[in-house]
Amino acid sequence: MSEFDLIRRYFTRPASGAVLGVGDDAALLHVAGGMELAVSTDMLVSGTHFFPDADPFLLGHKTLAVNLSDLAAMGAVPRWATLALSLPDADDGWLQRFSDGFFALADEYGVELVGGDTTRGPLNLSVTIMGEVPQGMALRRSGARAGDDVWVSGALGRAALGLAHLQGRIDLAGDVRSRCLAALHRPQPRVDLGLALRGIANSAIDISDGLLADLGHIAESSHVAAEVEYAAIPADALRGVDESLLRHCVLSGGDDYELCFTVPAAKRGEVETLAAKLSLPLARIGAIAAGQGCTVRSTDGSVMTTKEAGYDHFA
Amino acid sequence: MSEFDLIRRYFTRPASGAVLGVGDDAALLHVAGGMELAVSTDMLVSGTHFFPDADPFLLGHKTLAVNLSDLAAMGAVPRWATLALSLPDADDGWLQRFSDGFFALADEYGVELVGGDTTRGPLNLSVTIMGEVPQGMALRRSGARAGDDVWVSGALGRAALGLAHLQGRIDLAGDVRSRCLAALHRPQPRVDLGLALRGIANSAIDISDGLLADLGHIAESSHVAAEVEYAAIPADALRGVDESLLRHCVLSGGDDYELCFTVPAAKRGEVETLAAKLSLPLARIGAIAAGQGCTVRSTDGSVMTTKEAGYDHFA
């Protein structure tokens, strides 16, 4: 199978939403009038982000999901993606399942693959995703204001717990295991939530490095302080799991791909309505105040010692 | 040095041409009215595209250059780029020189780095470049017509010869060695040529996989035949180099990043004027006719046996 056959067979689909899709030196896209283009890139590396023997279907899903999550956090409608992949060899079965996983999620959100690159090398998957958002309406990290509530979607810590389970550090069972492994392998980007938060949230970020680190980015960019109540953070009730490991997973595990966002307290009702409309749990976990930094308080009101920053590839 | 320090120190520059640059979940870009967005991605992998000990300044240059070359082939004005990189470790000296090389070329063409991703793993560099082209004016592979002349810019085969020299397969010296190594390490994307060809050329492609393969793409996409005279292809005169190796480098070596384009014979004068204006050699090497495929003829008119396809990562 040649490189061109490979691209033709697995990665060339009609792109009716593009002026020109896969097959030329560049794709050509038309960004609608009044819209800004939102662009984000994420790279997944074998051995760093996933096990070398990861299920290729789930890997195709996750490769796109982590990028969709970035657009969700901006309140942008996902439209187009490019995929650059480095492969140790051209394995038909692997490519079929990987592309099936990628396109299944792409189809769900109307994303078109419009270009890419295929090369030989250690397994590496790099997606650039592009979407549209009405001018001036994007959700930024820098918009949080004192008096905002801090919210998160879904439950936190699951992906990190799932990883700990696979690494043999803890032993999960039953529903919790299923949920944690699903969160790790098949994260659901909160695209609909991001779109619905336009005009409601003052700021938003997706939780990829862990709540503490990512809410810390909001605090830093917005020049405010974030205070979170640990007990208010939605997480699975787990027995027999070391408390400090659990806390690490919930606060700093990362790979959650839930949204963390801030909304003026006056709009609490709108967020609650949204949660019902989207059938997605949205939890109010804290508040924004004047100051700086990100603080977590335990049930008795004391500040928890959390030296844990988010996941850092080079720390 | 943390991942965020690394991004801040080496890859965060003001992006005055973007609504929002590095530092949020996505960049925000405004594509001007009447313009299409041209998007292309290229991934460079250590050991496949470059030696692991490659000079990081030159690598920074080349990483962006090969992407600029794609936009050149579309006739698009380069505007923005994202950079995803996987690094074995965070080496200050390497990062400084890599980013210097990247930004030196970016500044030359007014390209702004608006986003990216940094992770740990085998050295891998993936750029997505975005540019603007007036609606309907992009140069495509599919526009070649019978009666067009086939042109190429610069000289072909140099990068492949430079690589053969570094691999000890041939021994280059003097000016030829300098030119071949410069072509390999520091390719000059033909952006100005691509822009000037809008309204003149019927089709264009950048020569990354080798003339035969890339002109073959034009022929296939345009449903025409391309005929090239070997003697008309601009290449360095080399003594003592095996003729079949030389032919391979010129026809199929790839990594040239020159433009191959087709222009109606009636517009020959316009192309010659362009060559003078841009101080860039442009050579007429053949013609487009009805039919299919890409044929090369030797001086005596016979069809050269050239089984050589272009570089293929998986053939």
CA atoms of A93 and A91, how far apart (whole Å): 6
Higher pLDDT, A285 or B237: A285
Residues A147 and A288 reside in one and the same domain? yes
A306 belongs to a structural domain = no
- pLDDT in the model for residue B14: 82
Q: Tell me whether residue A223 is in a domain.
A: yes
Distance from CA of B5 to the nearest CA of A (A): 9
Q: What's the CA angle centered on B2, arms A130 and B104, to 5 degrees?
A: 60
Give the closest of B121, B141, B204 to A47, CB-based. Answer: B121
Residue-wise pLDDT tens digits, A18-69: 899 888 899 999 999 999 999 999 999 998 889 889 999 999 999 999 999 9
Does the structure's ipTM exceed the value 0.85? yes
- Give the residue from chain B lying closest to A30, CA to CA: B36
- Residue ranges for the known binding site of A are 25, 40-42, 49, 70, 116-117, 141, 206, 208-209, 255, 311
> Among B20, B128, B309, whose Cβ lies nearest the Cβ of A128?
B128
Question: Bridge-partner residues for B43, per DSSP?
Answer: B126
Distance from CA of A271 to the nearest CA of B (A): 21
Q: Which residues of B touch A114 (CB under 8 A)?
A: 39
What CATH number has the domain bearing residue B251?
3.90.650.10
Taking Cα atoms as reference points, which of A79, A26, A272 lies closest to residue B132? Answer: A26
State residue A78's pLDDT score.
Answer: 98
Query: Does B262 belong to an annotated binding site?
Result: no
Cα B112-A66-A128 angle, rounded to 5 deg:
30
Query: Sorting pLDDT into bands at 50, 70 and 90, what band is A163?
Result: very high
Contact indicator for A68, A123 with CB cutoff of 8 Å: no
Question: How far apart are the C-alpha atoms of A209 and A160, rounded to whole Å?
Answer: 11
Residues of A in contact with B130 (CB under 8 A): 39
Residue B44: closest CA among chain A residues belongs to which residue? A119
Contact state of B119 with A6 under an 8 Å Cβ cutoff: no
3-state DSSP assignment of residue A96: helix
Task: Note the Cα B156 to chain centre separation in Å.
Answer: 12
Last residue of a domain, one of A134, A152, A177: A134
Residue B307 makes CB contacts below 8 A (sequence gap 6+) with: none
Pick among B39, B111, B208 to test the A interface (most A CBs inside 10 A):
B39
Does one domain contain both A153 and A293? yes
- As a whole number of angstroms, the distance between CA A151 and CA A271 comes to 9
**Looking at chain A, which runs of residues are DSSP E strands?**
27-29, 35-45, 77-87, 112-120, 124-134, 148-153, 203-206, 225-229, 259-264, 282-289, 293-297
Residue A313 lies in a domain: no
Chain A residues closer than 8 Å to B314 by CB: 1-3, 6, 87, 89-90, 118, 120
Tell me which residue of B147, B149, B172 sits closest to B232, measured CA to CA: B149
User: Do residue B19 and residue B65 come from a single domain?
Assistant: yes
Best A10, A24, A114, A307 member to test B by mutation, with max B CBs in 10 Å, is A24
Summarize the annotated binding site of A for substrate as residue ranges.
Answer: 49, 255, 311
CA B295 to chain centre: 23
Cβ–Cβ < 8 Å for A85, A116: yes
Domain end marker among B112, B134, B156: B134
Other beta carbons less than 10 A from residue B304's beta carbon: 15
- The answer on A265 and A227 residing in a single domain is yes
Mean pLDDT of A219-238: 94
Specify whether A107 is located in the same domain as A161: no
User: How is chain B classified by DSSP, letter by letter?
Assistant: --HHHHHHHHH----TTSSB-BTBSSEEE-PPTTEEEEEEEEEEEBTTTB-TT--HHHHHHHHHHHHHHHHHHHTPEEEEEEEEEEESS--HHHHHHHHHHHHHHHHHHT-EEEEEEEEESS-EEEEEEEEEEETT----GGG--TTEEEEEES-SSHHHHHHHHHTTSS---HHHHHHHHHHHHS----HHHHHHTTTT-SEEEE-SS-HHHHHHHHHHHHT-EEEEEGGGS-----SSS-HHHHHHHHHH------EEEEEEGGGHHHHHHHHHHHT--EEEEEEEESS-EEEEE-TTSPBP--------S--
Of A105-109, A233-237, B292-296, B311-315, the one with minimum mean pLDDT is B311-315
User: Among all chains, which residue has been given the structure tokens 């799991």?
Assistant: A241
Write the residue in B30, B31, B71 that is nearest to A26 by C-beta: B71
- Among A37, A38, A117, beta carbon nearest to B43: A117
> Is the Cβ pair A23, B221 closer than 8 Å?
yes
Here the CATH number for the domain that contains residue B28 is: 3.30.1330.10
Q: Are strands A112-120 and A77-87 parallel, antiparallel or unpaired?
A: parallel
The radius of gyration of chain A from alpha carbons, rounded to an integer in Å, stands at 20
- Is the CB of residue A111 less than 8 Å from the CB of residue A38? no
Q: What's the total number of domains in chain A?
A: 2
Beta strand B124-134 with B259-264 is unpaired
Is A21 a member of any domain? yes
Contact B206, B72 (CB under 8 A): yes
The answer to whether the Cβ–Cβ distance between A114 and B41 falls below 8 Å is no
Residue A244 Cα, gap to closest chain B Cα (Å):
23
Distance CA A164, CA A180 (A): 10
Q: Across the strands, what pairs with B116?
A: B83
Tokens matching residue A284:
């109010």
Give residue B69's identity as a one-letter amino acid code: S
Angle, helices B243-252 vs B211-222, to 10°: value is 40
d(CA A215, CA A260): 7
Look at residue B58 and tell me if it is in a domain.
yes
Q: H/E element holding A194?
A: helix A191-196
**Calpha distance A203→A191 (Å, rounded):** 15
DSSP A119-180: EESS-EEEEEEEEEEETT----GGG--TTEEEEEES-SSHHHHHHHHHTTSS---HHHHHHH
- Determine whether the interchain pair B119/A45 forms a contact, defined as Cβ–Cβ distance below 8 Å: yes
pLDDT in tens, chain B (315 residues): 787 788 888 888 888 888 998 888 999 999 999 999 999 999 999 988 898 899 999 999 999 999 999 999 999 999 999 999 999 998 999 999 999 999 999 999 999 999 999 999 999 999 999 999 999 999 999 999 999 999 999 999 999 999 999 999 999 999 999 999 999 999 999 999 999 999 999 999 999 999 999 999 999 999 999 999 999 999 988 877 888 899 999 999 999 999 999 999 999 999 999 999 999 999 999 999 999 999 999 988 888 866 555 555 565
Question: B127 and B72 in one domain?
Answer: yes
Work out the minimum CA distance from A17 to partner chain B, whole angstroms.
13
B64 & B153 share domain? no
Domain membership flag for residue B102: yes
Q: Tell me, yes or no, whether A145 lies in a domain.
A: yes
Q: What pLDDT is recorded for position A307?
A: 57
Do B124 and B186 belong together in one domain? no
Pairing of strands B293-297, B35-45: unpaired
User: Is the CB of B313 less than 8 angstroms away from the CB of A120?
Assistant: yes
Question: Where is the domain boundary, B84, B113, B134?
Answer: B134
Question: A116 contacts in B (CB within 8 Å)?
Answer: 41
Q: What's the pLDDT at B315?
A: 55
Backbone angle region of A201, left / alpha / beta, with phi > 0 → left and psi within -120 to 50 → alpha = beta
Please report which confidence band the pLDDT of residue A3 belongs to, taking 50, 70 and 90 as the band edges.
confident
Write down the residue that tokens 């008096």 correspond to.
A147
CB A84 within 8 A of CB A45: no
> Is B308 part of a structural domain of the chain?
no
**B40 and B164: one domain?**
no
d(CA A59, CA B203): 37
> By residue range, what is the domain housing residue B82?
3-134
Cβ separation of B221 and A29 shorter than 8 Å?
A: no
